[in-house]
Amino acid sequence: MKKKILITGGTGYIGSHTTVELIEAGFEAIIIDNLYNSDADVINNIFKITGVRPHLEVLDLCDKENLKRFIGQNKDISAVIHFAAFKAVGESVIKPLDYYRNNLLSLINLLEVMKHFAISNLVFSSSCTVYGQPEKLPVTEDTPLQPATSPYGNTKQIGETIIKDTTISDINVKAISLRYFNPIGAHPSALIGELPRGIPENLVPYLTQTGYGLRDELKVFGNDYNTPDGSCIRDYLHVVDLAKAHVVAIERLTAGRNKANYEVFNLGTGRGVSVFEAIKSFEHVSGKKLKYKVVGRRAGDIEKIWADPSFANKELGWKTLSSLDEAMKTAWDWEKFIRQKKQQL
């Protein structure tokens, strides 16, 4: 019998890639999504990749009664991966209450309903944003957390605390928080990827849209940082590598191989890449010269951060496999795919 995994936010960027990897690893995947920031058509593309059409329940996790009804119909869920959340850093500064309500209420509802039906395994989608600007690099799981620089980041910190406290209060609950560094790229089939609504906030979708001619030029936010080339440094990892880490985390929990009821892992490559290096990588894989302009720093940006992934390497037996160029190439292929698809519509 296949183990049934519930994926909240499973039609989103990381959720859809994780659903594919779970199905390919032999799990049954069922999805809850309110389609606020994603498209139901993603299910068709998951089907094209895997030959399996996961059940999609269009449901808002803030609607607890409906959530209870749905999970009540699926009491045999072995574990939950919780992706569903608002995720735009800048927007969260403008609409903090929306972010706190949505991201925290949905998590609390989920934990309460899981408890009600005695579903005990949870993987939580966290972020390296919880570290703020760390004093020492690379970042390990023991690096002290700094105060969050945005309401979004704060919802990740509070979310982790809520989950940790739940595992302390109820020894039946087991959870893993995965702290992602910067996921980029798309599935090699180019059938699923990131679909930013409107103008992208993140570097790589902005790069690929500029390369495609949708944007005039990329704005590089600052070249006066204390880094080798003056631009900010991040740890960009391929979304498929990231998705595979969720499968490993699920296997660890469902097989009872976890070493504590609450565990945290950094998911990154261990390599810091500057904005200019990311531009070079894009130019290399696309064969295009990118138009860009250096402008002032973006408020709230961290100067540099990259992961020490050795704990995840050792404990989860997971590491990233794709290079920056490979990940960038899939981002570019995906950009071309969605633009061609839009032209056909």
Q: Which residues contact 198 (CB under 8 A, 6 or more apart)?
A: none
Is there binding between residue 329 and ligand UFG (CB under 6 A)?
no
Distances (CA, A) of 250 to 5, 77, 160: 9, 12, 17
Instruction: Give least dist CB 52 to ligand UFG, A.
Output: 29
C-alpha 116/C-alpha 113 separation (Å) is 5
Is there binding between residue 128 and ligand UFG (CB under 6 A)?
yes
Q: Is 164 exposed, middle or buried (0-12, 13-18, 19+ CB in 10 A)?
A: middle
- Kindly state the number of chain residues that form the binding site for ligand UFG, as judged by CB under 6 A: 19
Closest Cα to residue 234, out of 185, 306, 326?
306
Instruction: Give least dist CB 259 to ligand UFG, A.
Output: 26
- The count of C-alpha atoms lying within 13 angstroms of the C-alpha of 167, restricted to the half-sphere facing its C-beta, is 20
Catalytic residue (choose from 13, 152, 206, 236): 152
Q: Which residues contact 315 (CB under 8 A, 6 or more apart)?
A: 259, 263, 265
Catalytic, 152? Answer yes
Is there binding between residue 281 and ligand UFG (CB under 6 A)?
no
Question: What single string gives the DSSP state of each residue in 93-114?
Answer: HH-HHHHHHHHHHHHHHHHHHH
C-alpha 104/C-alpha 62 separation (Å) is 9
Instruction: Give least dist CB 305 to ligand UFG, A.
Output: 6
Is there binding between residue 220 and ligand UFG (CB under 6 A)?
yes
Q: Pairing relation of β-strands 174-180 and 292-295?
A: unpaired
Is there binding between residue 139 and ligand UFG (CB under 6 A)?
no
The residue from 4, 64, 219, 319 that contacts ligand UFG (CB under 6 A) is: 219
The residue from 11, 18, 121, 182 that contacts ligand UFG (CB under 6 A) is: 182
Angle ∠(17,265,179) on CA atoms, nearest 5: 60
C-alpha 84/C-alpha 35 separation (Å) is 10
The residue from 47, 212, 221, 337 that contacts ligand UFG (CB under 6 A) is: 221
Is there binding between residue 95 and ligand UFG (CB under 6 A)?
no
The residue from 189, 202, 209, 258 that contacts ligand UFG (CB under 6 A) is: 202
Is there binding between residue 14 and ligand UFG (CB under 6 A)?
no
For the chain, how big is the Rg over CA atoms in Å? 19
Is there binding between residue 234 and ligand UFG (CB under 6 A)?
yes
The residue from 201, 283, 315, 326 that contacts ligand UFG (CB under 6 A) is: 201
Closest CB to ligand UFG among 10 and 153?
Answer: 153
Q: Interacting stretch for ligand UFG, rule CB under 6 A, among 23-31, 53-61, 100-108, 197-205? A: 197-205
- Kindly list the catalytic residues: 152
Site residues (vs ligand UFG, CB under 6 A): 87, 89, 127-129, 182, 201-203, 206, 218-221, 232, 234, 275, 298, 301
